[in-house]
């Protein structure tokens, strides 16, 4: 982390977990463990829990995010939700291009770019996910893969707009596997992404950009990951569903 230069953000990605009744319980548990956090706290909940989460977190330091949005404003897109619909609810963040969307739902670098633009236009803050698959790491092309994902995601995004962009580096092989990247591996790629952004924009923009690590970040390994200079927070799946574990990660990010 480098708190002098940029904001540290810890975001829970609940994925397809928690009914509304269950979400209410978890949010109530999260309030006390989040209250003293010296970092931005976000929970990205299923669409069906957004309104509940916005209402229950009102007046707290917990911000609410969605896990996807469509790139069109409205129209014949059965099953989709627009960025304006999210913003209207009081949602502040949206995750775009998570590897599970890329893997199971046909998300491409181009649609990530379109969704990012739509979300920014609606006034949302966007967490763009990038990351290599295991075979790509083994072939030594991690930087090429993550570089191209970053460049395409940011096509047409202005230096002003990128203030509302966060990049989450999530090696696909580390997601939900319990196999975390080492702190050095995480920092190496986060630093590489910062370099890509510096070339596209400027050093000032790159220095101010929050770049999270995601992939089996948990209460036990968060301290080491967050101690890295280019790791500015975490996108946390499994451990974000346990209030105590999430609280420990927030405490580490608050140091
Ligand atoms: P995980 O998920 O922490 O369960 O590995 C992270 C993510 O997919 O954002």
pLDDT confidence bin for 180, thresholds 50/70/90: confident
Regarding the beta carbon of 238 and ligand 1, being less than 6 Å apart is answered yes
Regarding the beta carbon of 229 and ligand 1, being less than 6 Å apart is answered no
Tell whether the model's pLDDT for residue 124 goes beyond 90. Answer: yes
Counted domains in the chain: 1
**In-domain check, residue 129:** yes
**In-domain check, residue 241:** yes
pLDDT digits 0-9 by tens, 182-239: 999 999 999 999 999 999 999 999 999 999 999 999 999 999 999 999 999 999 999 9
Largest separation between any pair of C-alpha atoms in the chain = 48
Pocket-testing residue among 9, 237, 241, 242, ligand 1, by greatest number of atoms within 8 A of Cβ: 237
Confidence (pLDDT) at 181 = 86
**In-domain check, residue 3:** no
Regarding the beta carbon of 226 and ligand 1, being less than 6 Å apart is answered no
126 and 94 Cβ atoms separated by less than 8 Å: yes
Pocket-testing residue among 97, 100, 236, 248, ligand 1, by greatest number of atoms within 8 A of Cβ: 236
**In-domain check, residue 192:** yes
Q: Whose CA is nearest to atom 2 of ligand 1?
A: 237
pLDDT confidence bin for 78, thresholds 50/70/90: very high
Regarding the beta carbon of 176 and ligand 1, being less than 6 Å apart is answered yes
Helix (H, G, I), strand (E, B) or coil at 182: coil
Q: What angle do CA 64, 67, 72 make, to 5 degrees?
A: 110
| Percent over 70 (pLDDT), the chain | 100
**In-domain check, residue 155:** yes
Q: Which atom of ligand 1 is nearest to the CA of 216?
A: 5
**In-domain check, residue 205:** yes
CA atoms within 13 A on the CB side of 34: 24
**In-domain check, residue 1:** no
Q: Whose CA is nearest to atom 3 of ligand 1?
A: 237
Query: Which residues are catalytic, by number?
Result: 98, 170
40: containing domain? 9-253
* CATH (domain of 30): 3.20.20.70
Confidence (pLDDT) at 178 = 81
- Alpha-carbon distances, residue 31 vs 11, 28, 156 (angstroms): 14, 5, 38
Tell whether the model's pLDDT for residue 179 goes beyond 90. Answer: no
Alpha carbon distance, N-terminus to C-terminus of the chain: 10
Task: Detail the DSSP E strand segments found in the chain.
Answer: 9-13, 40-44, 62-66, 93-96, 125-130, 165-169, 211-214, 233-236
CA distance 164 to 100: 23
140 and 224 Cβ atoms separated by less than 8 Å: no
Pocket-testing residue among 214, 234, 239, 246, ligand 1, by greatest number of atoms within 8 A of Cβ: 214
Q: Indicate the pTM of the whole model.
A: 0.98
Going from the Cα of 98 to the center of ligand 1, the distance in angstroms, rounded, reads 10
Closest CA to 177 of 215, 207, 214: 215
């Amino acid at each position: 982390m480098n708190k002098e230069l940029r904001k540290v953000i810890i975001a829970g990605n609940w994925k397809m977990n928690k009914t509304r009744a269950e979400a209410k319980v978890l949010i109530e548990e999260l309030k006390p463990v989040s209250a003293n956090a010296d970092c931005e706290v976000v929970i990205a909940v299923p669409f069906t829990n957004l309104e509940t989460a916005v209402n229950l977190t009102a007046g707290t330091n917990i911000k609410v995010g969605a896990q996807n949005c469509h790139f069109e404003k409205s129209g014949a897109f059965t099953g989709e939700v627009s960025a304006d619909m999210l913003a209207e609810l009081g949602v502040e963040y949206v995750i775009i291009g998570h590897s599970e969307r890329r893997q199971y739902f046909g998300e491409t670098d181009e649609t990530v770019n379109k969704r990012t633009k739509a979300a920014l236009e609606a006034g949302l803050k966007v967490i763009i996910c990038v990351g290599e698959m295991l075979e790509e790491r083994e072939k030594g092309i991690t930087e090429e893969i993550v570089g191209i994902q970053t460049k395409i995601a940011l096509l047409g995004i202005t230096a002003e707009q990128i203030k509302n962009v966060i990049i989450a580096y999530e090696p696909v092989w580390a997601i939900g596997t319990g196999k975390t990247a080492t702190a050095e591996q995480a920092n190496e790629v986060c630093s590489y992404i910062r370099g890509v952004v510096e070339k596209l924009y400027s050093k000032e923009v790159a220095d101010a950009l929050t770049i999270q690590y995601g992939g089996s970040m948990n209460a036990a390994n968060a301290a080491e990951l967050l101690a890295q200079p280019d790791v500015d927070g975490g996108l946390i799946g499994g451990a974000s569903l346990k209030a105590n574990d999430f609280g420990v990660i927030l405490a580490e990010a608050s140091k």
